[in-house]
Amino acid sequence: MAKEKKVEQITDMEVDFAQWYTDICRKAELVEYASVKGFTILRPYGYAIWENMQRIMDGEFKKTGHQNVAMPVLIPESLLKKEGELVNGFAPECAWVTQGGSEELEERLAFRPTSETMFCDHWSRVLHSYRELPMLYNQWCSVIRWEKTTRPFLRSREFWWQEGHTIHETAEEAMAETEQQLNCYADFYEKVLAIPVVKGRKTEKEKFAGAEATYTVECMMKDHKALQGATSHYFGDKFSRAYGVTFTGRDNKLQYPFQTSWGSTTRMIGAVIMAHGDNNGLVLPPQIAPIQVIILPVAQHKPGVLEAASALKERLAAAGLRVQMDDSDNSMGWKCAQYEMKGVPLRVEIGPRDIENGQCVLVRRNDGEKTVIRLAELEEAAKAQLELVQKGLYEKAKINLEEHCWPAFSVEEAKKLQEEKGGFIKTMWCGDVACEQKMKEEAGMSSRCLPFEQEKLSDVCACCGRPAGKMIFWGVAY
């Protein structure tokens, strides 16, 4: 990473992190605002990042037997109301269709805020026997939730996601599915997005509406705020009973299947921006970068330079890398700044002197390190440098997480730590929602999760002083 600032249109993150984030979203041409308030347009570069995420995740889902389906975007109000907790949880965010063409509808139709109801309605019609279980479905789509305040990728009134929905013969199978998919998300964040996570269970107050249990991967951004990365929910047979989903079991009696759902969204793009970006723009992990390598010919007007650069491009493309060459008449300085802005992980420079010496220069986006290599080593060296980018991003993000987790033993101490240092504040907790609310009201933090990796900080709750057996993470979240 170059120390000098190259893009004046980007606000420094140290000055205004929120504006820095918005500047990158627009200057890197990821999104643009739409004419309808709260809606955004995913521009080609932003959508290409999402496509790469989608391709990798979809492949992982299919390895474990999941199949893609497509459900209707509209949900009848009567169907939505069958499960009380779900409709109450999403009622403030529902957008409704009341008229079709010139005719008023007999029943309001909700734009899907989530699709549990439609999957259950479908299963109630097609499931018959235990021999058909499990049904492991996923869909890639957009949903609409009428958020009051919006920000690109983090909260918008329409966003793109995948939502997995499965039904199982036994509770044990459904709970195993819930855990498996949570681990799938954790692996994706850490191995693909280079973002370390804290895995844990949400409190009763913070769990998904209608779920028996919600599990989460929580991330830390560069400003030390928390971001919920993805969630996996265990429903038990509550939805099956509400929607009349039954099957004939091994004992030849009707039974209710056990259900899960799990989802991740384009919010992951926001996580990448805030976990890895700098004052010159995006810094993309190689696996999701639309352009993994950009080739910049130096003094391209001189004989043989463009031909040599084109040859490098062809070799890297043949090696399976996503590569482009910029032979425009823009200055070298402009080109370097442009592709740093776009977060391209690796830059290759070649000019007359390089050609004469049989070499080229590789520059990593994450730390600006330059490496001179022999042309014969190009493919192997480029892949090695991309691995170093991935490793460097993860290690830096891991340090950020580990250095901003603070133990506290009272609400007052937790509040002071958050105000002075930010990050995750970990305390013991008695499990009482009143204490959870107290932390929110007095320290301005919500519960993030009860982490799977527990520590015994003390014997008492930091909020009320009563006996406590669980450690909980608190934070200020996006």
39 Cβ contact list (under 8 Å, min separation 6): 33, 156, 157, 158
202 Cβ contact list (under 8 Å, min separation 6): 208, 213, 214, 215, 216, 231, 447, 449, 450
pLDDT tens for each residue of the chain, 478 residues long: 444 555 567 999 999 999 999 999 999 999 999 999 999 999 999 999 999 999 999 999 999 999 999 999 999 999 998 887 877 888 889 999 999 999 999 999 999 999 999 999 999 999 999 999 999 999 999 999 999 999 999 999 999 999 999 999 999 999 999 999 999 999 999 999 999 999 999 999 999 999 999 999 999 999 999 999 999 999 999 999 999 999 999 999 999 999 999 999 999 999 999 999 999 999 999 999 999 999 999 999 999 999 999 999 999 999 999 999 999 999 999 999 999 999 999 999 999 999 999 999 999 999 999 999 999 999 999 999 999 999 999 999 999 999 999 999 999 999 999 999 999 999 999 999 999 999 999 999 999 999 999 999 999 999 999 999 999 999 999 9
Q: Which two tokens stand for residue 160?
A: 């793109």
Walk across the sheet containing 198-201 and list its strands: 67-68, 135-144, 158-168, 258-265, 226-236, 213-220, 198-201, 446-451, 470-475, 424-429, 405-407
Read off the amino acid at residue 138.
N
Q: Which two tokens stand for residue 246?
A: 């039954």
Read off the amino acid at residue 201.
R
The single-letter DSSP state of residue 256 is P
This prediction has a pTM of: 0.95
393 Cβ contact list (under 8 Å, min separation 6): 194, 276, 283, 285, 366
Read off the amino acid at residue 111.
F
In the three-class reduction of DSSP (H, G, I as helix; E, B as strand; rest coil), residue 427 is classed as strand
CA-wise closest residue to 24 among 178, 210, 197, 221: 221
CA dihedral over 250, 243, 180, 214, signed as positive or negative: negative
Which domains, ranges and CATH numbers included, belong to the chain? 35-276 (3.30.930.10), 293-385 (3.40.50.800), 405-475 (3.30.110.30)
3-state SS track over 150-194: CECCCECCEEEEEEEEEEECCHHHHHHHHHHHHHHHHHHHHHHCC
How far is residue 329's CA from residue 337's CA, in Å, rounded to a whole number? Answer: 15
CA-wise closest residue to 28 among 460, 239, 338: 338
91 Cβ contact list (under 8 Å, min separation 6): none
